[in-house]
Structures are given as structure tokens and as C-alpha cells.
């Protein structure tokens, strides 16, 4: 196992420079602007190092990883549309259509969120909920890729907890995939820390979000439906909070009116942006978010042995915590703005 995981790290690590040169050669770069924190044009396509490592291991260990075949197939489309968006800046509608299509591939040929009574309407509603979950987490991860090391580091934390839960419940093949995914991200991370030399790009960030959203559905986290749903919500609490908080604020401030405008809108209004605005350095903001993710993961492990009512209480506690955080962020932003206006 150590050799396999070390191999995933090394393949990802040594393939990053290749994709960096490729991005520079074909001018697939992230150009700085007023809503971005980096100052120099930075190569994209770093996520391809993670993706190609995953594909290589899938081909080498197909017998053990065939359970994720629909996920791998669907992720091809996510990576392709992400690559084209990095290169040509596609419309939000095009990206949304491909994401929904990819989600349907996974749902139809693999698994969906299942907790409603069987029947036509129950099945349709479960498919819709599963699609919203997959597309939502996919885009949430894309929007979290705003500070060096944030998206890839968070994916490492999230997949670590998924792997622990899968190993403890005997789902060793899926746990093995989680660890390969984790170490592939770990191989990319050194290039994406402070003063990043390469970014994930939409190619990588949407791929990370898509894989994690599908893993959340694919894993059998508990027998009780409430507990089963609560565990992945807690583990992926940060992207869920960021997506929810940002959406509420954008609607409240009348910046967006529909999902297409929401996908197209770009500004410094995410969780990590608020932390930086309040005076934290980029590195400290990332560290704080990691601490929240680690705490939520611990809660998820504790919930796995609980009953439905205890899981609901833990989930309620997390929601209350995030409401407090949101209020502090908004109040802090207003206070700082008022201070600046006085000066």
C-alpha cells in the first residue's frame, strides 16, 4: 500500500512541470485582474496531473476499481469542458449542460442519493436531488480555488475522512481509490502553496469537486438514512457553506437572478475572500478553513456510530456554527468598510 500511494504522489508530482510547460506553450494562463489575488500570469492545467494519475491507477487496478467506472467516464467530460473553459472561456450555460450530463451518467450507471419511498415520483425526486448535489459541489470546489493551496488542500482533508470511513466499514476498494485521489492531490500541492507556480484551473477544481460529490453518494456510510446523509454533508461542509453563503449574499444584494448569472458572476465574495478582507493573510485564511474542515470531519466520524436523532443534533450544531460565522463575516466586513469611509 505504501508503494502504491508513494507512486501516486510521485507520478502527480513529476507530471506537474510537464503540464506547466504545456500551459505556457499554448498560453493557457490565469491572467490577474481586480478580483484575483495573484499578480503574475500563472499557468493553469495543474489539475491534469491529478487526473492523469487517477486514470493511470484506474487502468492498472481495474479489477479493484471497476466500481468507479461510471465516475471515471463521467469525469472525462468534466475535465474536457474544464480544459476548454481554461483555454477559451466557455459560457456558463455550456458548462452547466455538460455538468448535468456528467452527473446523469454517474446517477444512471452507478448510484444516486437514496432515502425516499420507491416509486416514480420518489425516483425522479432522488435524481433531481442527486444532480443538484453533484453540480453544486462541483461548482463549489471551483469557486473555492481562490487562494494558493485551498482547493487541493481541502480535497486532501475531505478524501482523508472519506477514506477513514470507508476502511472502517469494510469498503476497501473505494477506500483505496480515495487514498490514490488523496496522494495525487498531495503530489500537486507543493506547486500550489505560497506563491503558486501553477493553478488547478477549472480543469482541476471541477474535477476535484465532481469526484468528491460522487464519492459522497457512492459510499455506504451508515444503515440509517439520516446518518448516511449527514456524514458526507459534514465532511463537505466547507464547500456547502461557501456555496450557500455566497448564494444568499448575492441574491440579497441583487447581484444574480438565476443559476446562469450565478455561475457567470465572479467577485471576491467567498468565505476565503471575507477572511482576507478581515485582515488574515492568505495562508492564515487557508489554515483556518482547513481547521474547520478537520473539525467537521471529526464530527462525521463521531456521527457514524450515532442514531438519527443524534445525527440531526450534530448537523444542527454545524448549521448554527456556520450561521454564526456568516454573521461575523458580514458584520466584520461592514465594520471595516465603515472605518475606511471615516478615514
pLDDT tens by residue, 37-60: 666 888 999 999 999 999 999 999
Nearest partner of 151 among 83, 215, 159, judged by Cα? 159
**Distance in angstroms (rounded) separating the CA atoms of residues 151 and 142:** 8
Cα(50)–Cα(204) distance, rounded to whole angstroms?
Answer: 8
Checking if the pLDDT of 343 tops 60, the result is no
Which span out of 107-116, 297-306, 327-336 was modeled with the highest average pLDDT?
A: 297-306
| Nearest C-alpha neighbor of 134 from the set 192, 210, 204, 232 | 210
pLDDT > 90 fraction of the chain, expressed in percent and rounded: 71
pLDDT of residue 58: 96
pLDDT at 320: 96
Is residue 338 scored above 90 in pLDDT? no
pTM reported for the whole predicted model:
0.94
In tens, the pLDDT along 77-117 reads 999 999 999 998 888 899 999 999 999 999 999 989 887 77
C-alpha cell at 1: 500500500
| pLDDT tens digit sequence for 220-244 | 998 888 999 999 999 999 999 999 9
**pLDDT tens per residue, range 168-187:** 999 999 999 999 999 999 99
| Higher pLDDT pick, 278 / 182 | 182
Report the chain's C-alpha Rg in angstroms. Answer: 20
Q: Which band of pLDDT confidence, cut at 50, 70 and 90, is reported for residue 259?
A: confident
How distant, in Å, are the alpha carbons of 64, 71, 129, 203 from that of 139? 29, 17, 15, 12
Which grid coordinates belong to 256?
444574480
* Total residue count of the chain as it appears in this document: 343
Average pLDDT over residues 14-23: 95
* Confidence band of 260 (pLDDT split at 50, 70, 90): confident
Statement: residue 65 has pLDDT above 70 = yes
- Taking CA atoms, 287 is separated from 81, 156, 311, 323, in Å, by 30, 13, 27, 20
Amino acid at each position: 500500500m505504501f508503494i502504491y500511494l508513494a507512486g501516486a504522489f510521485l507520478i502527480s508530482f513529476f507530471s506537474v512541470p510537464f503540464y506547466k510547460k504545456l500551459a505556457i506553450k499554448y498560453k493557457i494562463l490565469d491572467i490577474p485582474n481586480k478580483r484575483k489575488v495573484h499578480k503574475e500570469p500563472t499557468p493553469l492545467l495543474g489539475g491534469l496531473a491529478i487526473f492523469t494519475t487517477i486514470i493511470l491507477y484506474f487502468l492498472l487496478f481495474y479489477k479493484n476499481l471497476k466500481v468507479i467506472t461510471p465516475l471515471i467516464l463521467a469525469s472525462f467530460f468534466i475535465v474536457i469542458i474544464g480544459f476548454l473553459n481554461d483555454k477559451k472561456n466557455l459560457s456558463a450555460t455550456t458548462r452547466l449542460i455538460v455538468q448535468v450530463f456528467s452527473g446523469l451518467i454517474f446517477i444512471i450507471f452507478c448510484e444516486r442519493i437514496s432515502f425516499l419511498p420507491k416509486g416514480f415520483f420518489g425516483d425522479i425526486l432522488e435524481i433531481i436531488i442527486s444532480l443538484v448535489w453533484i453540480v453544486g459541489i462541483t461548482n463549489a470546489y471551483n469557486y473555492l480555488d481562490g487562494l494558493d493551496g485551498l482547493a487541493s488542500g481541502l480535497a486532501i482533508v475531505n478524501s482523508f475522512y472519506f477514506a477513514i470511513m470507508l476502511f472502517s466499514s469494510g469498503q476497501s476498494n473505494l477506500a483505496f481509490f480515495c487514498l490514490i485521489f488523496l496522494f495525487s492531490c498531495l503530489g500537486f500541492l507543493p506547486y500550489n502553496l505560497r506563491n503558486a507556480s501553477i493553478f488547478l484551473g477549472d480543469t482541476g477544481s471541477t474535477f476535484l469537486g465532481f469526484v468528491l460529490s460522487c464519492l459522497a453518494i457512492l459510499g455506504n456510510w451508515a444503515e440509517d438514512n439520516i446518518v448516511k446523509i449527514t456524514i458526507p454533508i459534514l465532511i463537505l461542509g466547507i464547500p456547502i457553506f461557501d456555496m450557500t453563503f455566497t448564494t444568499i449574499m448575492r441574491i440579497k444584494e441583487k447581484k444574480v437572478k438565476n443559476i446562469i448569472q450565478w455561475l457567470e458572476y465572479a467577485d471576491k465574495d467567498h468565505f476565503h475572500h471575507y477572511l482576507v478582507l478581515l485582515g488574515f493573510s492568505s495562508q492564515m485564511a487557508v489554515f483556518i478553513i482547513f481547521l474547520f474542515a478537520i473539525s467537521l470531519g471529526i464530527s462525521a466520524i463521531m456521527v457514524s456510530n450515532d442514531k438519527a436523532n443524534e445525527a440531526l443534533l450534530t448537523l444542527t450544531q454545524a448549521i448554527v456554527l456556520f450561521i454564526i460565522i456568516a454573521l461575523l463575516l458580514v458584520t466584520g466586513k461592514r465594520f471595516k468598510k465603515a472605518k475606511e469611509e471615516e478615514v
